Amino acid sequence: MRFVPMTQVRPGARLARTIYRDDGSVFVRSGKILTAFEIRRLADLGFPGVYVADPGEEDWPVPALISEATRAAAVSRLWHAFRDLQQGRALDVGSLYDVVDSIVDEILADPRALIGLADVRTHDTYTFGHSVEVCVLCVALGRELGLAPERLRALGLGALLHDIGKIGIPADILRKPGRLTAAEWRVIQTHPRLGFDILRRYHEVPIPAAHVAYQHHERLDGSGYPRGLKEEGIHLYGKISAVADTFDAMRSSRVYRPSIPVHQVLAFFQRSRGVQFARDVVDSLLRVVAPYPIGTAVRLTTGEVGVVAGLLPGEPYRPIVRIMADGSGRKLDTVRYRDLCRERDVAIGGVLAGLDFEAVATAL
Q: Taking residues 78-97, what's their average pLDDT?
A: 94
Q: Taking residues 352-356, what's their average pLDDT?
A: 62
Q: Taking residues 319-345, what's their average pLDDT?
A: 89
Average pLDDT over the chain, rounded to an integer: 87
Q: Which region holds residue 95: left if phi is over 0, alpha if psi is between -120 and 50, else beta?
A: alpha
Rounded Cα–Cα distance for residues 290 and 280 (Å)? 17
- Looking at residue 357, what is its pLDDT? 46
- Looking at residue 362, what is its pLDDT? 33
Rounded Cα–Cα distance for residues 133 and 54 (Å)? 27
- Looking at residue 122, what is its pLDDT? 58
Least confident of 15-19, 227-231, 279-283: 15-19
Rounded Cα–Cα distance for residues 168 and 35 (Å)? 40
Does residue 60 register a pLDDT over 90? no
Report H helices in the chain.
36-44, 68-86, 93-109, 126-144, 149-160, 171-174, 182-188, 191-199, 207-215, 236-251, 262-272, 279-288, 360-363
Rounded Cα–Cα distance for residues 302 and 295 (Å)? 19
Q: Taking residues 253-271, what's their average pLDDT?
A: 84
Residue 265, Cβ density class (10 Å: 0-12 exposed, 13-18 middle, ≥19 buried): buried
Q: Taking residues 154-170, what's their average pLDDT?
A: 96
- Looking at residue 259, what is its pLDDT? 77
Least confident of 111-125, 265-279, 338-352: 111-125
Compute CA distances 255 → 22, 108, 126, 295, whole Å: 18, 36, 12, 23
Q: Does domain 68-288 have CATH number 3.40.50.10860?
A: no
Is the bond leading into 226 cis (omega within 30 degrees of zero)?
Answer: yes
Rounded Cα–Cα distance for residues 192 and 72 (Å)? 25
pLDDT, tens digit (0-9, with 9 covering 90-100), for 179-208: 889 999 999 999 999 999 999 999 999 999
- Looking at residue 22, what is its pLDDT? 65
Does residue 364 register a pLDDT over 50? no
Q: Hey, where are the domains in the chain? A: 68-288, 292-364
Rounded Cα–Cα distance for residues 343 and 120 (Å)? 31
